[in-house]
Amino acid sequence: MTSFMPPAQRIWWKVPVGRQEIVWILIALVWCLIMFFMMPYWHVYGKQNISNEAYQTTPAKYQAKVQAMIDKYKVREETAQKIPVVAPPAGSDVYLLARLWQWYPMLELEKDKSYRLHISSMDWNHGFSLQPVNINMQIVPGYEMVVTVTPDKSGEYTIVCNEYCGIMHHTMLGKIWVK
């Protein structure tokens, strides 16, 4: 038989299905059912979904909130760019601003205390990735993302922008210290 010959004159649904094909069909069906039931299970019990809120804002309004927090809770400055470090009290609203190519300000939080972390972008889409705990969110200009965080381990955490935001994207790092 060649590709120049017409197909055989037979009805495809009357051709018997081979035993190996039935086995693979059953394996695929069982796998589909497992995945189908695992999706709602992991959504409820997997703890990988961040429960967050989003509000519309403007860059000017959000920057005013960030500056008010800095004026109230600033404890020192870090790096050559003199980025402020703030230590807000437990249970308060904490504002973090993303802009080319910087997370502003740096944060000092207390272990086992909850904070409402507000994050927004001043210019482009940015990605918020908290390492090494691997919390990821997309930060979009004009929206204020709010997530409740309760740090459970002391140490230094790095905020990485994981959404390409320009030529100096690789330098966009921030810090959170947990005491």
Q: Answer yes or no: is 160 within a domain.
A: yes
Q: What is the DSSP letter of 92?
A: S
Q: Answer yes or no: is 10 within a domain.
A: no
Predicted local confidence at residue 107, as pLDDT: 92
Domain with residue 132: its CATH number is 2.60.40.420
pTM to 2 decimals? 0.71
Q: Answer yes or no: is 59 within a domain.
A: yes
Domain that holds residue 96: 52-178
The Cα 84–Cα 105 span in angstroms is 5
What are the 10-residue block averages of pLDDT along the chain, 179 residues in total? 66 82 95 93 74 85 92 85 88 90 90 91 89 84 89 90 87 90
How many distinct structural domains can be found in the chain? 1
The Cα 141–Cα 15 span in angstroms is 59
Q: Answer yes or no: is 73 within a domain.
A: yes
Predicted local confidence at residue 47, as pLDDT: 66
Q: Which residue has the tokens 């037979």?
A: 10
Q: Answer yes or no: is 137 within a domain.
A: yes
The Cα 47–Cα 43 span in angstroms is 7
Q: Answer yes or no: is 66 within a domain.
A: yes
Q: What is the DSSP letter of 111?
A: T
Q: Answer yes or no: is 109 within a domain.
A: yes
Predicted local confidence at residue 6, as pLDDT: 67
For the chain, strand residue ranges (E) read 52-56, 74-78, 83-86, 93-99, 102-104, 106-109, 115-121, 126-131, 135-139, 143-149, 155-161, 173-178
Q: Answer yes or no: is 173 within a domain.
A: yes
Predicted local confidence at residue 49, as pLDDT: 61
